[in-house]
Structure 1
């Protein structure tokens, strides 16, 4: 597997040698000083080009990056349409283990790109000084943010509202329905509440990463293992236990946040737990 220096030099070389490419930038985790570097990171690169049609005639030019063993081109897909119509992207897996997400953007669409950018952008080659005043790459857009009372209330309301869906799915034996709502809804609100607690204790000037992937770094080992218990879904009995444990953890963290930030605490938890136990599912 080629190292980071080799790969970045490859992108720079291609930019310098191809007159159609006026600017190349690196994006994502490789520009983020707060993320540990390892060999598994993708190379997220955008080429700003004078025109795109000549690139799209054939994929053969991609050989400059190595042997492509698998590729996805989002803009050519029907089932999963692209979210960024002003880009044309090649998501490539190479035979030496490298993953490249390469996008082509017209130079004239640079203002749109900057407006959509998350701030994690670093210039590789800028032939025309288009980004001479670009701010240093920063993950500030992903930092934790202190909630207000209304946001706290909404988190509580969403969690307890959807908790009944999970219970109803479990009692009906509709396990996929129940687990979908447990993971995609109430667990997400639990994670949100946990992140607010972490922000209060350790500062909001940090990111917990995509899908909260770094939250483990801010929890004690005991609290991390306690949270992992919500993922034990191998039997219906264990699903029910995970559900009740998720409710219990949410109560714990939401009460902490209420006290830490001086928020009023509605009794939604008591009401909905009583409702679920009375009409749907006993502990």
Structure 2
């Protein structure tokens, strides 16, 4: 695997010799000193160029970066079209190096630096940036919820539990799993993150997809959270779903208490709805 220096040398040497490239930046985890480095970190590179079409019309110029295992061009896809202002090349190479390279037109430079604070300036041929930004992950720090944010989270969680129940009672497990994963558990994780912030401060990030959450919660809570991912059968799905509800109730009640927020009454109403539907469809007998 090429070293970090070798990759930067290839990228910057190419940029320096190509007159169309006027500025190069680095984004993402490699700019974040709070993220432990490892071999899986992408090199998120952006080239600011004078002529986009001359690059996008032919991919041969990408060969300078090495032999690829796979290339994806999100802005050139029909099934998964990206909504971007530039053009991206997501490349994994045979030596396991991953480079996500984005082309942006020069006129977007000022706007670009308002999009993300995790940016490091690598090359500025025309000295356009008077004061290079200092990368910071402040935009990703935990955010203390307002009463409205807290209630919105609770409302989204408990409202969507009815869809999970619908899927389980209809024996439509994929429907139930989809709502459980995409919404219900998402709001549970959000609520747990707020409790972490209350106890440890809102001055740090839990990482993308809450990937650092484990180190900030008690082992018992973590094990219960992990148990909600067992969804390979209807009995297991019910167990995971009910564990999810129990966890959310406990965590959100504590958040409400700590912040002196009103806890929603619809928790009890929806919980009774779930019990009623289980009895109506004989679910308890199915799980014995």
**What's the CA shift string for 1:209-239, capped at 9, x where partnerless?**
1111111121122221111010011221111
For residue 13 of structure 1, what is the aligned residue in structure 2? 13
Post-superposition offset of 1:185 = 0.8
Contiguous gaps of at least 5 residues in structure 2? none
8 A contact 2:31–2:120 mirrored in 1: yes
Alignment size in residue pairs = 281
For residue 189 of structure 2, what is the aligned residue in structure 1? 191
1:89 paired with 2:88, answer yes
Post-superposition offset of 1:130 = 1.8
For residue 207 of structure 2, what is the aligned residue in structure 1? 209
8 A contact 1:156–1:268 mirrored in 2: no
Task: Tell me how far apart the structure 1 counterparts of residues 268 and 107 of structure 2 sit (CA, whole Å).
Answer: 56
Task: Tell me how far apart the structure 2 counterparts of residues 82 and 166 of structure 1 sit (CA, whole Å).
Answer: 30
TM-score of the superposition, structure 2-length normalised?
A: 0.94
Task: Tell me how far apart the structure 2 counterparts of residues 250 and 196 of structure 1 sit (CA, whole Å).
Answer: 12
Q: Secondary structure at the match of 2:228?
A: helix
For residue 146 of structure 2, what is the aligned residue in structure 1? 148
Post-superposition offset of 1:56 = 2.2
Task: Tell me how far apart the structure 2 counterparts of residues 48 and 154 of structure 1 sit (CA, whole Å).
Answer: 40
Task: Tell me how far apart the structure 2 counterparts of residues 263 and 19 of structure 1 sit (CA, whole Å).
Answer: 58
Task: Tell me how far apart the structure 2 counterparts of residues 258 and 168 of structure 1 sit (CA, whole Å).
Answer: 29
Q: 1:54 to 1:166 in 2, by over 3 A?
A: same
8 A contact 2:89–2:102 mirrored in 1: yes
8 A contact 2:165–2:277 mirrored in 1: no
**What's the CA shift string for 1:32-70, capped at 9, x where partnerless?**
111110011111000111112222232111111101221
Task: Tell me how far apart the structure 2 counterparts of residues 246 and 5 of structure 1 sit (CA, whole Å).
Answer: 45
TM-score of the superposition, structure 1-length normalised?
A: 0.96
For residue 108 of structure 2, what is the aligned residue in structure 1? 109
Post-superposition offset of 1:280 = 4.0
Q: Structure 1: which 4+ aligned runs deviate by more than 3 Å?
A: 280-283
Contiguous gaps of at least 5 residues in structure 1? none
1:273 paired with 2:271, answer yes
Q: Secondary structure at the match of 2:81?
A: coil
Q: Secondary structure at the match of 2:25?
A: strand
